[in-house]
């Protein structure tokens, strides 16, 4: 190598070291994008706080327990609204394709602020009263969540294929939007299918 | 006899009138408490939402907002209760929980603002240190590179001068 080539090597080495030394300063002005996908998680667990032992065959005046888990991986603190709804088989569920919530009214709700990376688990106890059966139909008059009673008057028809009167408790996740200053449906829901078996 | 009937009629009229008056009063107070509850819930929502926006701003500046989130959660829990009681027609309960919610987040905006200022100061101090250290490192690297190059060039040329020319046969 001649002197000119050695000089080029010194210049290149020097430039690399300058880049390394100036990286912390540059990162102040050009913040690097955060890696990883941003999302919220919503899960429902059975009474043993695992994904099994969900209530299915239910009766009037007995309490059933599930756990709802919400996780924040959105990159900053979030304000969530966990909304509990109750439907029979003919009423609408949320639409995952259009991202719209169910039109059914919210019954119980939990609002929670979660920091980034935090998750939150809450027990949900529910029961039914005013249950009756007539002409291949079942009627649930009152749906109770955590001892708060809601008049629902839901009628379910006998499902001959699956042998039962089916209802669903479902939980929607809403998230507070600071720009519109209101909760927006976060396109996530979980449900527990129930077969009303007796009074 | 007719005086007795007239007397009874008067008593009955007074009774009916009293009952109607009581019902009317209750109806008015029910309507008032419903609108009052809705208003109070709105106030609570605004208080919690405004506090959250301030907490978010502080968090963006790098502040540790975990203590503020605990207070916000207390406000959020009470708003949920207020909303559910309102939907169930328990307007008194709704007002009670809406007021609790407002109390839970009282002073939170100021706390968030203080944390935001503190985090801003810390960020500026840290940035100054980073820029200074980085700048010094760049200067040292450039000076070191130039000095090394000069030394290398000197030794290289000395080595070149010490070389004996080779005799090449013609």
pLDDT per residue as tens, chain A (199 positions): 788 888 899 899 999 999 998 888 888 887 776 668 899 999 999 999 999 999 999 999 999 999 999 999 999 999 999 999 999 999 999 999 999 999 999 999 999 999 999 999 999 999 999 999 999 999 999 999 998 999 999 999 999 999 999 999 999 999 999 999 999 999 999 999 999 997 7
| pLDDT < 50: residue spans in chain B | 20-21, 23-30
Tally the domains of chain B.
1
Check CB contact under 8 Å for B69 and A77.
yes
The pLDDT assigned to B6 comes to 72
The reply to whether B13 falls in a domain is no
Which residues in chain B are closer than 8 Å to A174, comparing Cβ atoms?
none
The reply to whether B68 falls in a domain is yes
Tokens (6 digits) for A110:
């939990």
The reply to whether B100 falls in a domain is yes
d(CA A156, CA A144): 18
* Number of neighbouring beta carbons within 10 Å of residue B73: 18
d(CA B82, CA B80): 5
Nearest-CA distance B152 → chain A (Å): 9
The reply to whether B8 falls in a domain is no
Assessment of whether the complete model's pTM goes beyond 0.80: no
The pLDDT assigned to B31 comes to 52
The pLDDT assigned to B18 comes to 58
- CA dihedral (A2, A6, A11, A16) in degrees, to 10, reads 140
The pLDDT assigned to B33 comes to 83
If phi > 0 it is left, if psi is from -120 to 50 it is alpha, else beta; for residue A147 that is left
At CA A178, angle to CA A173 and CA A183, rounded to 5?
30
The reply to whether B18 falls in a domain is no
d(CA B147, CA A101): 69
d(CA A93, CA B82): 26
Residue B116 is part of which domain span? 28-162
The reply to whether B119 falls in a domain is yes
Number of helices (H), then strands (E), belonging to chain B: the values are 4, 0
Yes or no: say if A173 and A109 are a contact pair by the CB < 8 Å rule.
Answer: no
The reply to whether B81 falls in a domain is yes
The reply to whether B132 falls in a domain is yes
The pLDDT assigned to A109 comes to 95
Q: Which residues pair with B134 in a beta bridge?
A: none
Check CB contact under 8 Å for A18 and B138.
yes
Q: If 0-12 CB within 10 Å is exposed, 13-18 middle and 19+ buried, where does residue A126 land?
A: buried
- A7-66 residues touching B, CB cutoff 8 A: 7, 10-11, 13-14, 17-18, 21-25, 28
């Amino acid at each position: 190598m001649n002197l000119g080539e050695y000089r080029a090597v010194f210049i290149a080495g020097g430039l690399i070291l300058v880049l390394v030394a100036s990286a912390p300063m540059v990162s102040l002005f050009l913040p690097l994008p955060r890696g990883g996908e941003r999302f919220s998680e919503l899960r429902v667990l059975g009474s043993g706080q695992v994904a099994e032992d969900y209530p299915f065959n239910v009766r009037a005046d007995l309490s059933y327990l599930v756990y709802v888990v919400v996780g924040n991986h959105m990159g900053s603190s979030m304000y969530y609204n966990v909304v509990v709804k109750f439907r029979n088989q003919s009423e609408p569920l949320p639409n995952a394709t259009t991202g719209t919530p169910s039109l059914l009214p919210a019954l119980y709700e939990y609002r929670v602020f979660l920091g980034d990376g935090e998750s939150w688990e809450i027990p949900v106890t529910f029961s039914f009263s005013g249950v009756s059966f007539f002409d291949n139909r079942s009627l649930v008059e009152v749906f109770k969540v955590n001892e708060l009673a809601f008049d629902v008057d839901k009628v379910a028809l006998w499902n001959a294929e699956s042998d039962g009167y089916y209802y669903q408790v479902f939980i929607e996740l809403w998230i507070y939007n600071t720009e519109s200053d209101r909760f927006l449906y976060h396109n996530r829901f979980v449900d527990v299918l129930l077969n009303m078996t007796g009074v | 006899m007719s005086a007795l009937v007239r007397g009874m009629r008067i008593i009955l009229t007074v009774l009916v009138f009293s009952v109607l008056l009581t019902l009317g009063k209750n109806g008015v107070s029910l309507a008032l408490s419903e609108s009052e509850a809705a208003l109070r819930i709105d106030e609570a929502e605004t208080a919690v939402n405004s506090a959250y926006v301030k907490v978010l701003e502080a968090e963006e500046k790098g502040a540790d907002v975990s203590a503020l989130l605990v207070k916000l959660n207390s406000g959020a829990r009470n708003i949920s209760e207020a909303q559910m009681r309102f939907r169930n027609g328990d307007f008194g309960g709704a007002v009670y929980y809406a007021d609790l919610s407002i109390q839970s987040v009282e002073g939170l905006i100021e706390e968030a603002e203080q944390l935001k200022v503190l985090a801003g100061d810390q960020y500026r101090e840290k940035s100054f240190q980073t820029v200074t250290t980085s700048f010094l490192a760049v200067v040292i690297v450039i000076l070191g590179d130039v000095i090394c190059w000069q030394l290398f060039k000197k030794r290289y040329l000395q080595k070149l001068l010490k070389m004996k020319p080779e005799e090449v046969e013609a």
